[in-house]
Amino acid sequence: MKNLILQFSVIIVIFSCSPQQNSNTSFNPNRNGNFIVHDAFKKYFDSCGVDGAIAIFDKNNQQWILSDTGNVLKESLPASTFKIINLLIALETNAIKDENEIVKWIGKTDTVKYGYRPEIYHNMPVKEAFEVSAGWVFVELAKKIGKENYQKYLTACHYGNLNLDEKDDDFWNFGSFEISPINQVEFLKNLYEGKLPFSKKNIEIVKRVLISEENDNFTIRSKTGWTRENNTNTGWWVGYMEANKNVYFFATRLLQDRKYNRADFGSCRKKITMRIFNDLGYI
């Protein structure tokens, strides 16, 4: 059915039987009965040849809009969407003084892991590194921050599964640290509302850096992410859109076996999300 509205009792059964539920999320079907599942969204993910999910939270109506009842709770590597909380932690721990601080180019990087991107191999302000996803900059910040600080702030923010066993510094791209679309949205809601263990100043800095699109109709604050770990393309677009005197928080994730690589994988993250926003009448 298009725009399927599940009865509360049915939802409880589905979620209680799901092995994928994120243990670090406050989302619970026994308490969060106000949500709608749109199974028709699947056609957009199918058109891109991916296994996908989207979780949206409508602030004014206090309502969840979901593509399904399973994948939205399934965890995976956050990839570069982690740069949102990473920037907050870097600011709060004084690893950097502000978003304009310049990080000096280290002279080399692993092009096998990160690809060959000569356009980012130079001294760079952190704000620019966020916008162009210069991974090497955030790896350098991670060395300053340290795993102990990450564990502290990630726990306080209820962000992800808290598994930081990956020995390399970029545990958000490789290893077992994972987060679900629902958990991403919950974190973004708390960021917007200032309900995170960071100073107001640092939260406002991150909100400014997050602006990715702005026009007369809406403002989108967002971050993309893409990792190829475990022979899987894991692609994200997360953020929130201010429009119609409302705020819509969203997390879109695509999963694709790399043997089925498609050239449009990267563009599909935003394309699918904006089509769904259009279907819902948000834009």
3-state DSSP assignment of residue 214: strand
Task: Confirm if 222 and 249 have CB atoms less than 8 A apart.
Answer: no
CATH architecture of 8-280: 3-Layer(aba) Sandwich (3.40)
Average pLDDT, the chain: 91
Q: What is the pLDDT of residue 192?
A: 98
pLDDT of residue 202 exceeding 80, the answer is: yes
> Catalytic positions, please?
80
Q: What is the pTM of this model?
A: 0.90
Is the CB of residue 221 less than 8 Å from the CB of residue 210? yes
Q: Which residues of 42-66 are buried (b: 16+ CB within 10 A; e: fewer)?
A: eebbeebbbebbbbbbbeeeeebbb
Predicted local distance difference test score (pLDDT) of residue 2: 43
Which of 122, 48, 120, 115 minimizes the C-alpha distance to 270? 48
CA distance linking residue 253 with residue 219, whole number of Å: 21
* pLDDT at residue 27 in the model: 65
What pLDDT score does 1 carry? Answer: 47
The whole-angstrom separation of Cα 174 and Cα 139 is: 12
